[in-house]
Structures are given as structure tokens and as C-alpha cells.
Amino acid sequence: MVIGKNTKYPSESTGELLSSLGVTAAKQDRDGNYNVKVGFAEPRSDGGSNAKIANIIEYGKHGQPAKPFLKPARTASRKPCTDAMIAKLEEEIGKL
């Protein structure tokens, strides 16, 4: 867990950021491409912004070093996602 470590001021994970993370259903655009959006539900229970908290954790701020979690997740999931899309495409082509 990266939250609360090596920070200038004590902090503690509440789990609210993680629970606010979500994805939309896949929707097709006018060009025929399917798109999915990944993001954070807003606002937080205290009225703050989950996107702001995520940005601070990802990139850091004065007195708090960066603790990237979004970019490594995207990098790690790229090949499995591409493989799943290729498999689905081949499955659909096989039905023709």
C-alpha cells in the first residue's frame, strides 16, 4: 500500500478512493470504435475530489513523493487487454 508512507504529515487510507474507481459500459462511437472510460466517482464524502487525491498520490506534491499507481496499472494491463480484444475479434470473424 502506498497511501500514508513517506509523507510529511501522517495520513491514512480510508478506502474511499478505491471504492470510487469505476468503468463505464463499452459504447460505440460514430466511427464504429468501442470506448470505455475509467475514472473516479465524485465527490468524496467530505466534499473533496477523488480525482485530486488520485493526482496527488500519482504525481506527489511538496513534502509528499509521487507513488504512481495509475500508470503502472495501465502498463501492466495493456498486453492482457490487447490479447482479449484480439481473441474476441478472431471469435467474431470465425462466426462469419
User: Does 82 or 64 have the greater pLDDT score?
Assistant: 82
Q: Where are the alpha helices (DSSP H) in the chain?
A: 16-20, 50-59, 70-94
The CA-CA-CA angle for residues 92, 79, 16, to 5°, reads 105
pLDDT in tens, 9-59: 667 778 899 899 999 999 999 999 989 998 999 999 999 999 999 999 999
Is 70 exceeded by the pLDDT of residue 4? no
